[in-house]
Amino acid sequence: MKLQTKSLFILFLVLISPFSVFADGMTYDPDDGGSTYDDDSYYSVPDDEVNIFTKLTDWIFGVDNSIDTPDNTTTDDTPSDIVFNGTQNETEQSSAEAVMGDKEEAIIEASNSTQRILDEIKSDMVSYYCVGYEVGGLVQEVINAPDKIGGFSVFPVRITVKTPSIDSMFPEEVIDYGDDQYTIDVKGHTEINSVTFKVMQGGTVVSKYELLNLNLVSENQQHTFDAILKVPDDYASEVAVMVQGGNLDLNDLNALVTADVESFEIYTEVDHNLVVWKENAEYARWDLEEHEEDEEKPSRWDHDGDGDKIPSGDDEPWKNTSYISYRHTTSATQSILDGIVDHKGKEGGLGSEYRDQYDDEMFAFKADANGATSNIVMTIKSSMIHELNNPAGYSVTIIGYPEYFDTYSTDMKIQNVSYRLVAINYHADGTSTISTDSKSDGILPDLSRVGVINTILDYNSDGDTVAIYPFLLVSGRVYQTEDNPDRSFPVWAISKPRITIRSNYVFVITDHSKLIDSFLADGDFTESEKEQTEAMLEGDVADYLSKIAELESNRDFADDTDSKNAYQKAIDYYQKAIDSLTAISLTNTDSIIEGKNKAWYYESQAKDWVQIAELYYYGLDDQALTLASTTEEANSDSDFGLIGAISGDLIPAVITDNWLGILIVLAGVVVVFGGDIDLKSMKSGAKKVSSKMGKIKFPKK
């Protein structure tokens, strides 16, 4: 370090030394293992964590006081809504509610989950912008379709056309004839033969709906034509096979969940004829000429007709021209929804440590859905506890939504429905097997009514299991049962609930914590109970240290940043558990209760981060993120505080290339100093802090 920089820090330390909140009332005794003490207490504290003031002075003057013990300085960075001053059960209950919310409110939400999704997918028929050309005087006003089309759904389409007025297209002719005039009248109509609706991708017809042999005769009138079309779908036949049985691959199922609808447009074609009769000129001027009595008046519309005033089928028209008018949308895919997610559902689930708080109630879970999500509505309710080799109850609701087609027909049905609810066991080698399989026995009734399936998934695992994923698959067909019973479209849906099945974990401190609760319940904490408590907590600390050592090895072995970071978080939380236990005063009941409850809470966070790290390691980022969403860091509103942020090795935490920043807390004010630094000399003197720890010394107040 340059001399001027060191001088600056020495001057600064002299100025702030009277105000150091970290050294006030404490003395440093290097002969006593680096501990600090006052007249009333004795704590075991690592040398390099005595206080920031001491650390700075030691660093500046070259004193190396690092020892092979971890930091046990606790920081109050836990969520404020968790109960630490009660029993173990109260801590568990408040911890669960901090993550999952109020239990009774969640049960009410579950009862309303299906209706919420139905409200989400309700749609209105809107006008789509379209282009094309219209011939023969026919006018197609717009193409109407739903403003929401869920995934790979079947959807209604409507067009309105107006036939031309013949008088406006062919005004009568006024012809001078000597001193007189006569008019040649024109009559006619449009004959609509057929209307074709198509879903097109490039030049390929993906789905088609035809209204044939209409023989509709019209002049100057509006007509509405309705149809149903299918979004481009390459998966319907594949899902139909999956639902029936056989092994399922996790990658294939995830591909269905994330499948995107490819761009498409809606085309309409109207096949029509413009039929026009022009009045015979001889007939028109007949009354202006003189004729023999026996001379026959010619046909009005053609030379072979019978002289009717209105053209008949026997009259050969003056014009009979065939046309095809077409129009198509330009942005139909913009109405596609990628899937329906029940945003008010729960996420993640809980481990068996919360079984006492959550019995058999069913809760709605968030889910990623895909498929024909405007035609088939699925909600998944489940018990809150999800852990390997433990059964979990499921209540699945499958509803057909024929009301989506009401603008087209009120007689639509979703029939020939089959379902399959599975738990997929994903192994470390990347293969998938079925852990539990629950599927329909044959074909379900049509989904004009609500179908509820109650079942259990066992989450059977083996030594090679990395994660288990639940999925729901549904397959069926949309029918128009009366007008055209032979016309149908395949539909399918898949739902992947955001549930992470927890790994099996035996808590270090839970049984000890509950036993300590029983010691303290009668208000008489005997010497024998104190000794037993001290022995239990020392054993718990040793177990935590063993876990830290194993996790450090896993962290160093991991080759991805997410996994390394998650392992480090787990290590940090186990260290917080140690800190909470070593801060306990056995003569202070409140200290015992708070310390052991905090240790349990930190352990619960640590075990989650261990599983998150393992999920990241095997590339299961979706499960890792879902589980991470239930951790304290994702759900706590509390700030972790500056002291917690710099409670590790101070100097490495704030060094950047060619710059050094030191954070000093003075009466709540953060002061940042910067200066040049010789990184090479600093790094050469760095020493890794070991996770080993000697005998725990509890305060002897």
Q: CB-based contacts of 354: which residues, under 8 Å, 6+ apart?
A: 92, 95, 96, 384, 385
In three-state secondary structure terms, 578 is: helix
Asked if residue 249 belongs to a domain, the reply is: no
CATH number at 579 reads 1.20.120
**What's the CA gap between 181 and 177, in Å, rounded?**
5
Query: In this structure, are 327 and 365 located in the same domain?
Result: no
Q: Which residue has the higher pLDDT, 179 or 530?
A: 530
Q: Which residue has the higher pLDDT, 38 or 128?
A: 128
Residues 540 and 670 in one domain: no
pLDDT top residue among 236 and 298: 236
**How many Å separate Cα 233 from the centre of its chain?**
22
pLDDT tens column, 571-625: 999 999 999 999 999 999 999 999 999 999 999 999 999 999 999 999 999 889 9
Mark whether 45 and 60 lie in a shared domain. Answer: yes
pLDDT at 206: 92
Q: Is 558 in the same domain as 672?
A: no
pLDDT, one tens digit per residue, over 537-561 is 999 999 999 999 999 999 999 989 9
Residue 345 lies in a domain: yes
Q: Which residue has the tokens 């609500």?
A: 450
Q: Which residue has the higher pLDDT, 358 or 139?
A: 139
Q: Render pLDDT for 482-502 as a digit per residue (tens, 0 to 9).
A: 556 567 889 999 999 999 999
- Determine, yes or no, domain membership for 678: yes
Q: Of 300, 335, 370, which residue sits at a domain end?
A: 335
pLDDT in tens, 55-80: 444 444 444 443 333 333 334 556 66
Instruction: Identify the weakest region by mean pLDDT among 83-87, 331-335, 359-363, 686-690.
Output: 686-690
Which range, 305-314, 323-332, 558-567, 657-666, has the best average confidence (pLDDT)? 558-567
Same domain, 400 and 358: yes
* CB neighbours of residue 331 within 10 Å: 11
**Contact indicator for 262, 232 with CB cutoff of 8 Å:** yes
Sign of CA dihedral 5, 6, 8, 12: positive
Q: Are residues 315 and 176 in the same domain?
A: yes
- Report the chain's mean pLDDT, rounded to a whole number: 75
Contacts 24+ apart (CB under 8 A), 317-322: 317/188, 317/275, 317/276, 317/277, 318/186, 318/276, 318/277, 318/278, 319/188, 319/274, 319/275, 319/276, 319/278, 320/273, 320/274, 320/275, 320/276, 321/136, 321/273, 321/274, 322/271, 322/272, 322/273
Reported as a pLDDT band with limits 50, 70 and 90, residue 23 is very low
Which helix or strand (DSSP H or E) is residue 480 part of?
Answer: strand 465-480
Total number of domains constituting the chain: 4
Among residues 497, 520, 554, which one ends one of the domains?
Answer: 497
Same domain, 113 and 148: no
SS3 693: coil
**Which residue from 371, 378, 367, 374 is spatially nearest to 470, judged by alpha carbons?**
367
In angstroms, rounded to a whole number, what is the distance separating the alpha carbons of residues 239 and 226? 29
Q: What is the residue-wise DSSP string for 250-294?
A: HHHHHHHHHPPPPP-EEEEEEEEEEEEEE--HHHHTGGGS---TT
> Does a structural domain hold residue 82?
no
Are 505 and 483 a contacting pair, CB within 8 Å? no
Residue 421 CA to residue 437 CA, distance in Å, equals 6
Residue 189 tokens, joined = 């109509």
444-474, pLDDT tens digit by residue? 655 555 677 888 899 999 888 999 999 999 9
355 and 473 part of one domain: yes
- pLDDT for 609: 95
Of 300-309, 328-337, 413-422, the range with the lowest mean pLDDT is 300-309
Neighbours of 129 (CB within 10 A): 10
pLDDT greater than 50 at residue 32: no
DSSP 164: P
For residues 202 and 273, state if they share a domain: yes
Is 81 inside any structural domain? no
User: pLDDT tens, 397-449?
Assistant: 888 887 888 877 777 778 888 899 999 999 999 899 999 888 876 556 555 55
| CATH code for position 303 | 2.60.40.2050
Residue 19 domain flag: yes
Residue 242 lies in a domain: no
Which residues share a beta bridge with 426? 432, 467
Handedness of CA 219, 222, 227, 231 (dihedral sign): positive
Residue 553: its pLDDT value, please? Answer: 94
What DSSP assignment string belongs to 488-539? EEEEEEEEEE-B-PBPP---SSHHHHHHHHHHHHTS---HHHHHHHHHHHHH
Do both 309 and 166 map to the same domain?
Answer: yes
Lowest mean pLDDT among 20-29, 168-177, 491-500: 20-29
- Structural domain range at position 554: 508-638
| Domain limit, last residue, from 638, 666, 681 | 638
Confidence band, pLDDT 50/70/90 cuts, at residue 512: very high
User: Residue 350 domain-assigned?
Assistant: yes
247-260 per-position pLDDT tens digit: 899 999 999 999 99
| pLDDT value, residue 568 | 96
pLDDT, tens only, 85-111: 888 888 888 887 777 777 677 667 666
pLDDT, tens digit, 9 for 90 and up, residues 616-670: 999 999 889 988 887 765 555 433 222 222 222 222 223 223 333 333 222 222 2
41 and 135, same domain (yes or no): no
Q: What is the CATH number for 352?
A: 2.60.40
Whether 159 and 289 map to the same domain: the answer is: yes
